[in-house]
Amino acid sequence: MSTTWLGELLSEDGRRDPYPVYARLHEHGPVVGLPHGSKHAAIVHGHAAVGRVLRDPDFHVLDAEYLDRGSTRWRAHPAVRTMQHSLFNDSGDHLARTRRVFGQAFGSTRVSALEPMITRITDHLLDRLADAGGAPVDFMTRFALRLPSDVIGEVLGVPERDRAAFPDRVRTFDAILELGQRSLRELRAADTAAEELTSYFAGLVAARRAAPEDDLISVLAASDALSEPVLLANLVVVFNAGFRTTANLLGNGLHLLLTHPDALDALRADPATASSCVEEVLRFDPPVHFAIRYATKDTEVEGVEVPRGRTVLILTAAANRDPSRFADPDRFDPSRTDNHHYAFSAGPHFCVGAALGRAEGRIALSRLVARFPFPALAAPPGPRHHFMLRGHDRLEVRFR
Ligand code: HEM
């Protein structure tokens, strides 16, 4: 059975709806070992086991040391180099130092101060949705992709006129993050996108060094806390990480509300429930389904051996539906309490932008429902195929 788990997940059916596969994985305990020759040594999907591996110092992200063991050819690819220079693939003291810089910039105190700006942008975008006069509108392009791009653009200091060029480049770059094989064509396109984004940010950093403004890039440009390649890689990656993840939280969230009228009624009746509603969206239908780590020494997870140098596939989205942790895990229930999900991962790589993503979700969904009390799906959304950045390409909605 175990040989087929990865095949099942990556099949057409598995990609469209991985939850039946997750449910069967849970019947086999918290971890399944995969046979020798598999891409990963094990799949970790039980809630407690996922938390343990993500926090275990013997498991690392796929850093340069890991990649070099296979081949050093990755160094010729700007997209992979960018990821390797960023927080995502860093570890140890260097990671801690870089996280201090970005942790401050996106911590909860800072995010509270950003709320008026998020509200202003939200209301502006809602005005534009109202312009359609109740005709079907694609929520993704007209709202969900705009809000996070404008918010992260404001925080970093990316001028509004430049933001239109981001969605395509970000999408192309992000293709390298997906689970399973990627084609050389996708990798080359991601390389080009990474080079364009890096040179864009290099120009902006130089401009802010010459004439600082009241934005994060000016602060980072004036500091010597990070080397230039690390600064640029993290600017590219922070923009990307804060963009389509949050857009998918908004799209997945609105879709869940439109298909669960009780949840929509409850949010309309009491906007203060937006926070628990967002947590339940993140548990039930998270924008990111997995993380990968490798063992830096021979070890085990829940009795399943993981030899040094082998990877484990950590299914955070499956952990969010673990029946031993959540009562009735396949029910979308925004009134759920004790909702400890792994949508933002855990441990040393816990999402730097969690407070910002949560604030955007809370403000956007509550204000949207207050402004348009009776939104309705105008067409079924297209199927979803991705495990990383899982969201709707289109979401046609009538805003009434
Ligand atoms: C709902 C929105 C979001 C979701 C679901 C999300 C999800 C995640 C997840 C799962 C990880 C960890 C990956 C791993 O463990 O390997 C992560 C890391 C990260 N996220 Fe988010 N994220 C969101 C919003 C944001 C925002 C708004 C920002 C921008 C500030 C951001 C910046 C980052 C960064 C820089 C990392 C890397 C941290 C590290 O590896 O140390 N994210 N995010």
Nearest CA-CA partner of 260 in 223, 285, 229 = 285
pLDDT of amino acid 3: 53
C-alpha distances in Å from residue 323, one per residue of 117, 179, 320, 331, 351: 39, 25, 9, 11, 25
Tell which one of 117, 352, 363 to mutate to probe ligand 1, the residue whose CB is within 8 A of the most ligand atoms.
Answer: 352
User: How would you write the pLDDT of the chain (400 residues) with one tens digit per residue?
Assistant: 445 899 999 999 999 999 999 999 999 999 999 998 899 999 999 999 999 999 999 999 999 999 999 999 999 999 999 999 999 999 999 999 999 999 888 999 999 999 999 999 999 999 999 999 999 999 999 999 999 999 999 999 999 999 988 888 988 998 888 877 788 899 999 999 999 999 999 999 999 999 999 999 999 999 888 999 999 999 999 998 999 999 999 999 999 999 999 999 999 999 999 999 999 999 999 999 999 999 999 999 999 999 999 999 999 999 999 999 999 999 999 999 999 999 999 999 999 999 999 999 999 999 999 999 999 999 999 889 999 999 999 999 999 9
Identity of the residue numbered 6: L
Looking at residue 120, which CATH number applies to its domain?
1.10.630.10
Q: What is the 3-state secondary structure (H, E, C) of the chain?
A: CCCHHHHHHHCHHHHHCCHHHHHHHHHCCCEEECCCCCCCCEEECCHHHHHHHHHCCCEECCCHHHHHHHCCHHHHCHHHHHHHHCHHHCCHHHHHHHHHHHHHHCCHHHHHHHHHHHHHHHHHHHHHHHCCCCCCEEHHHHHHCHHHHHHHHHHHCCCHHHHHHHHHHHHHHHHHHCCCCCCHHHHHHHHHHHHHHHHHHHHHHHHHHHCCCCCHHHHHHHCCCCCHHHHHHHHHHHHHHCCHHHHHHHHHHHHHHHHCHHHHHHHHHCHHHHHHHHHHHHHHCCCECCEEEEECCCEEECCEEECCCCEEEECHHHHCCCCCCCCCCCCCCCCCCCCCCCCCCCHHHCCCCHHHHHHHHHHHHHHHHHHCCCCEECCCCCCCCCCECCCCCCCEEECC
| Residues, the chain | 400
Q: Measure the CA–CA gap between 41 and 295, rounded to whole angstroms.
A: 10
- Kindly state if the Cβ of 28 falls inside 6 Å of ligand 1: no
Q: What is the pLDDT of residue 2?
A: 47
Over its C-alpha atoms, the chain yields an Rg (Å, rounded) of 21
- For residue 194, report the distance from its CA to the centre of ligand 1, in Å: 18
Tokens describing residue 338: 């004790």
Domain region containing 99: 4-398
Q: Which two tokens stand for residue 148?
A: 């996070």
- Is 246 close to ligand 1, i.e. is its CB under 6 Å away? yes
Q: Cβ(352) to ligand 1 under 6 A?
A: yes
Bridge-based pairing state of the strands 59-60 and 291-295: antiparallel
Q: Does 356 contact ligand 1 (Cβ within 6 A)?
A: yes
In total, how many domains does the chain have? Answer: 1
Q: In the numeric block, which tokens belong to residue 284?
A: 């039930």
Distance of alpha carbon 316 from alpha carbon 382, whole angstroms: 24
Residues 15 and 200: their CA atoms lie apart, in Å, by: 34
Task: Determine if ligand 1 sits within 6 Å of the CB of residue 317.
Answer: no
